[in-house]
Structures are given as structure tokens and as C-alpha cells.
Amino acid sequence: MAKNTQKIGWIGMGRMGFPMAERLLAAGYDVSIWNRTRAKAEPLAKIGGRIVGKVAELAHVDVVFSIVSTGKDLEEIYFGRDGLAADGGKLPPIFVDCSTIAVEESAKIRAKLAARGVDFVAAPVSGNGKCVAAGKLSAVTSGPSSAARAVEPIIEAFAPRGVSYVGEGDLARICKIAHNVMLGVVIENLCEITLLAEKAGVPRHAFLAFMNNSDVPMPVTSTTRDVLQTHFGAAQLKPDPKKYLAGDFAALLETLALAAGMKLTSENKNVPTGLET
């Protein structure tokens, strides 16, 4: 693999961040990695990743990427007491953030970086860790056009399905919100029809395999938002609400099953996801 010349800084080793950084290393980039829990990043040292002890050590890279849980986390990592931009010194000319955060949070961070002469590119992604590994991730970007175009080839290393530039500012965040609304409605509908089929006697794994192999349009359900609010409320009855909600759409399926008088148990069957190679 030919060596790419840009020096990349990477912040965040979660379910998405780890495989995304891994793909950059596989593409030949020089990647320096910081994560709050250093041990999560250590495996990438075996394939060329440079693990740094302090986020400030990323100040001299060409582009720094981040993918963290919340806007508050990002603010702290960039501008906190020990943050990347805390000491007023030299910074990378371009920051790229792939996190899913609020538009207002992103705009606030953008203004702070602009005051330091730094371009900020919002680059949220569509998919999950398995999509990254399968090479089926896509991304949407916004911010200064020249900066967004400059980092596009780098983003394509972990989002080969395509990088869509949608304009200045934080428009990419709007696109991500719209995408998540659409996805939430579709998944809610999928949960409903899956439970309908199962209650009639269809094995869940068989129905999901059928759906994954078909192209059936699913109508929007007008009560999606109310159902999701009920789901969030149901989570509060669990011993660990945060852990339950982290189950994502699988947890939503369980909540809807309870409302239907059903208690789901694992069928211990692997359902093809469509991401297999």
C-alpha cells in the first residue's frame, strides 16, 4: 500500500472510531491516536498507529479527526484544561468531527476554532462498526469548501460508499438529524411488522432474513415519536436505563414486544446483515 503523506490525528476509539482509524492505517496514512482509555487504542499500534499519551500531542498533525459520544465531550477534548486547543499554541489547520452532536454545539465549536484560524469540517457518518469493517460506510460533510474538499480523500478511506458535501456551516448536522429521523421511523415500522409476523407464528430470524433479502417499501407511521417517547419511559423502569437504551433498536424491539404482551428470548440464530463480503 502506497504511503499517504498527510499526518492524521485521531480522537475516539469507540465502536465506530476504532475501525475508522484502522481503515486509515490500512490505507497507508500516518495516524497518531489519542483516547481517554489508552488500552482501547493499543491494538492499533501493531499495525502502525502511534498512540499518544496526551491529546495536546496531536497539535502538529495536518488534520485531526474526532468521533466521540457527545458535544460536551468534544468541547472538553478541544478546549478543556488539558484539551487540544487549551494552551493557545499551534493547532492543525483543519479539524474534522464525525460525531453525532447538536447543530448548536457544533456551531459554538466552529466559532471558537475560527477565532484561532482553524477550519472546522462537520463529517457525520451513516452506518455502524460493521458497516465500517465491510467498507460500506458513507459520510456527509459541511464547512469551508476548500477544507472539506481537501479532506475528502482521507474520509473516503473509511467511508468508501461516498462523501457528500452539502455546503457551509453545520448543514451536515442537519442531514444527519434528517437521516436519523428517517431511520427511526423505518426501524420502528420494521419492529412493528416483525412482531406482527412473530405473534402469528413466523420465526423472527426467518422473517428478518426475508426482509433483508427483499426491497419492500415501508410506510411512515405517524405515531413513531410517541412510541419512542414510550420507549424512553420504559427504559427508566430498567435497573440500568442507560445500558438498556444503548441496546439501540434491539432494545426498542423489546419494548414494543412488552407492549404486545410478548417477552422475547434469543433464537440463537445468525441473520445475514447484507454487509458480508
What are 87-100's pLDDT values in tens digits?
A: 788 999 999 999 99
For residue 105, is it within any domain? yes
147 shares its domain with 185: no
142 shares its domain with 83: yes
What's the CA gap between 194 and 184, in Å, rounded? 15
152 shares its domain with 38: yes
Indicate the residue among 169, 194, 229 that finishes a domain: 169
Average pLDDT over residues 200-214: 86
- CB count within 10 Å of CB 80 equals 14
CA neighbor of 154 nearest in space, from 35, 254, 29 = 29
Higher pLDDT, 243 or 36: 36
Cβ-proximal residues to 67 (8 Å cutoff; 6+ apart), any chain: 11, 12, 14, 16, 17, 20, 97, 98, 99, 125
CATH number at residue 62: 3.40.50.720
30 shares its domain with 161: yes
58 shares its domain with 26: yes
| Cα-based distances in Å from 177 to 6, 163, 191 | 31, 17, 21
Indicate the residue among 114, 144, 169 that finishes a domain: 169
- Count structural domains, the chain: 2
Tell me what pLDDT residue 186 has: 79
For residue 272, is it within any domain? no
For residue 249, is it within any domain? yes
For residue 248, is it within any domain? yes
Tell me what pLDDT residue 273 has: 64
Tell me what pLDDT residue 30 has: 96
Place of cell 488500552: 39
For residue 221, is it within any domain? yes
Tell me what pLDDT residue 190 has: 85
Looking at the chain, the whole-number percentage of residues with pLDDT higher than 70 is 91
Indicate the residue among 148, 169, 190 that finishes a domain: 169
Place of cell 415501508: 218
Cβ-proximal residues to 73 (8 Å cutoff; 6+ apart), any chain: 99
162 shares its domain with 216: no
Total-model pTM:
0.73
Q: What is the pLDDT of residues 221-231, one digit of tens each?
A: 455 666 767 77
28 shares its domain with 150: yes
Domain residues for 223? Answer: 176-259
For residue 219, give the DSSP letter: P
160 shares its domain with 183: no
